[in-house]
Structure 1
Amino acid sequence: MVIYFYKVYEPYGCFSNFSPHGIFIEGEYWQTVEHYYQANKFLGTKDNLVIPLIKAASTPEKAASLGRDRIRKVRSDWEEVKCSIMRQAVLTKFLTHSDIQETLLSTGEQLIVEKSPTDYYWGCGLDNTGQNNLGQILMSVRQEIRELKNRK
């Protein structure tokens, strides 16, 4: 069986970066993984003034909109670092919130897929040909948490 997720209010919505599960990372609190991820696009750039606006955005949708604004230039190494930034944020989220950690672990060895109709990088896209990088990260985080628990 494949575990599909996309919208926060749907089954497995806690797997979404928009889920209301805050993280404390690098000495700062972020409302959602999406807030953190979008802000990281601008670290060390001339557009870093948008970071506090992203952090303070009232919803993850607003944070995403600010981060996706094509007027701003993202950091030069963004393509190289974006997956590791996402993975660290997702790992922190699931280590922080035991309820959703249990949901993630309950998926066993099942494939996890972000069922985004428009995102072919993080999700599977409309025709299921996308890279599903967020699903891959979730499965990797699931395995890492299992290993951490087994060491205890």
Structure 2
Amino acid sequence: MNISRHLCREFALQTLFTWFYYDQQKSAKQILEALALHYFHYEVQDLLFSLAIVEGVENHMESLRAIIERFAPEWPFEKISLLDRGILSIGIYEILYNEEVPDVVAINEAIELGKKFGDEASPKFVNGVLNNVMQHKEELLAS
């Protein structure tokens, strides 16, 4: 089944929200597998793009958190909503670690997730953080 990358990002965000909410007690992959069958009504093999995102975020969570803290210094990580954490994590992961997705597409997709799932401030907040990440991409990848 051919599922759009946009929809896969939505599934990835919902998975990461659940993963954050339950304090990462299970792996993000386990959560995606459960949600895929019982909530999304897809097989996991149909959601390989979602799986790549959630596993990538999980594997890089320590560095993603540090980047979020660096580029959103006025917001302590714990004060950022779980949805915005997920959106930022997906966007930063795609900018830094997914060469198949152009940076501007990653930012635009994250903004769209913010419009759909976040509060009214989410799109602007996400745009500001991710544009700064994109501007410092080479430095971040070198460190």
* Shorter-chain TM-score range: 0.3 to 0.5
The structure with the largest alpha-carbon Rg is: 1
From the two aligned structures, give the one with the greater helix fraction: 2
TM-score (norm 1): 0.39
From the two aligned structures, give the one with the greater strand fraction: 1
